Structure 1
Amino acid sequence: MKILLIPIIITFIYTIIASLSDIKYNIISNKLVFSLLALGFLINLIFTIYFNNLFFILSSIISTVITFIITYVLWKFRLWAGGDVKLITAISAIIPINFLFLNEILMPKQLIFIPFSIHLIINSLLISFPFIIIYILIIKLKNIDKKNLLAKIKCELILFNIKQSINKFSTNLIDVNNLNEGMILDDYLFDNDTYKLINEFLLLEDDSNLIIRKSSSGYKLKSNTCGGLTSEDILVLKLLYDNDLIDKKLFVKISIPFAPSICIAYIISLFYGNLLFLFFN
């Protein structure tokens, strides 16, 4: 059964490369994830022929479909970026189940299975959550006046609000001319009088990732998904600035690379399983 180690090793190498790319460039290459996806189907097709068992290719296809639906929903809720969705979907294609614990005798009986990617998704979220909280706390402490540090810390601990903290401290002020693709625009508030003018610019771009939402004080312009700004979105924002509809500097969210969490979760999922079992045990 050593042949089953091949996709495990390949996937580990891919997740390392994706993590380094996400940390350095804040992006996961489409060529990387699509090549892993293609390898996944190819390897499981080879396993199907080698073991004379349709389980491998069928489980790969089913796992990919289920994983894409779940991760797509998470993407729509802006919990993940598009690259993270593609990476986990590709992993689900090459490793539909945990090959380390696959018993050749049981293979024909494993037609109903829980995809390996389910454990991977849960573990990725559980691993990333503490890092995000620590990251937010560090940024919050950096913004506290050191003269009243103790009093401020007590106040923060009592009134700590994750959503408010993210909005307040996890953004950078960027010149509109220095915007890059993938940056996530934070809520930009404007009044009712400017709504029609800004909306007209957005209507010109069918594939825009910018969206206008109603707020308590008027309207807000923001990125629609974690996919961030496209080249067309950046051109629209520059046009809005040139027409004095928005400020020259905009707040964009500080992105936290998620691929390293997926890489760590991949290893944990392989050798331990689902971290939720810790709570149940």
Structure 2
Amino acid sequence: MWLELIPAGLALGAVIIANYTDLKDRIIPNKLTFSLIGFGIVFYLAFGISSGEFVRAFYGVIGASIAFGIGYVMWLTGGWAGGDVKLFTALGALLPAYEAPYLAPPYSVNYPLFPLTILFNGIIAAIPFLLIYVAVSRAMGRGAFYETVKISELKEGMIPAEIIYEKNGKIKRYDSGYFGFLSRAFGTPEWDRQLANPDRAAGISRYYVGVLRRMVREGKLKDRIKIKKGMPFAPALGAGVFIGIFYGGLYWGLLTLLA
């Protein structure tokens, strides 16, 4: 039915806009993502009730929930920003299930799991560019996912890759290393006050930027901090959507080829 093409068209438009704003200003507007989440939920609710498919009426809710759950885990690991999570949630609400013209995984047609196809497509499409990026960063002597900057040059919104905290009047650091939030989940030092928090999605606040700079001026803290290098994931999600809508599942094609 042609009505089912409306969410696909909106998803294509959404990733185009999100890619533009993410690459230009490093932000994905909440107005875009929240409105599409709401539209997807209402669309499938109305579509399911009008067609008598009451299970399908909840596809928007289920697709958004699955996408949000995956995105939240990605955010916890530090791989995604909050905007990426909201964009993926919107795509889950719009395209919980979709029958691609070529290689459509069975679950993406019969069940609200098409967000998995979008994600896997995006990851597969991004791998060559990610390898090139890592190789170039290593060749230039820079970290691929982290970098060290001076606290005097720290800006609001930057996401620290280490915990800086105060305990008994002393300023200390805790680096959770490559295991990220898993290390912090299973054991972090106790503190009286936390000055830099890697798990804060919005990054470091203006207030704590000022606090850290004051600590540097007072000689209590060395003028350096390890921060995460943000990599926009919107282009990968965009590629995943375009490939999914016009082709299907890349990984499903690979499995078919191997089989």
Greater C-alpha radius of gyration: 1
Normalising by structure 1, report the TM-score: 0.69
- Give the counterpart letter for 1:34 in structure 2: F
- Give the counterpart letter for 1:5 in structure 2: L
- Give the counterpart letter for 1:260 in structure 2: P
Cα distance between partner residues in 1 of 2:171 and 2:63: 40
Cα gap change, 1:132 to 1:236, in 2 (>3 Å): farther
Q: CA deviation at 1:18?
A: 0.9
Question: Which runs of structure 1 show a deviation greater than 6 angstroms over 4 or more consecutive aligned residues?
Answer: none
Q: CA deviation at 1:189?
A: 8.3
Runs of 5+ consecutive residues of structure 1 not aligned to the other structure: 102-109, 145-164, 201-208, 215-220
- Give the counterpart letter for 2:215 in structure 1: L
Check the 8 A contact 1:5/1:100 in 2, yes or no.
no
Match of 1:270 among 236, 239, 245: 245
Cα gap change, 1:24 to 1:100, in 2 (>3 Å): same
Q: CA deviation at 1:279?
A: 3.3
Q: Which moved more, 1:268-277 or 1:26-35?
A: 268-277
- Identical aligned residues as a percent: 26
Q: Tell me the equivalent position of 2:175.
A: none
Check the 8 A contact 1:240/1:246 in 2, yes or no.
yes
Check the 8 A contact 2:19/2:234 in 1, yes or no.
yes
Deviation string, structure 1 residues 245-272 (Cα, Å, up to 9, x no partner): 3234534333211101100111112233
Q: Tell me the equivalent position of 1:30.
A: 30
Q: Tell me the equivalent position of 1:2.
A: 2
Q: Tell me the equivalent position of 1:197.
A: 169
Cα gap change, 1:75 to 1:143, in 2 (>3 Å): closer
Q: How does 1:125-140 map to 2 (within 5 A)?
A: 125-140=123-138
Cα distance between partner residues in 2 of 1:55 and 1:99: 17
DSSP 3-state at the match of 1:73? helix
1:180 paired with 2:156, answer yes
Q: Tell me the equivalent position of 2:92.
A: 92
- Give the counterpart letter for 2:219 in structure 1: D
1:20 paired with 2:29, answer no
- Give the counterpart letter for 1:197 in structure 2: G
Cα distance between partner residues in 1 of 2:239 and 2:197: 31
1:166 paired with 2:115, answer no
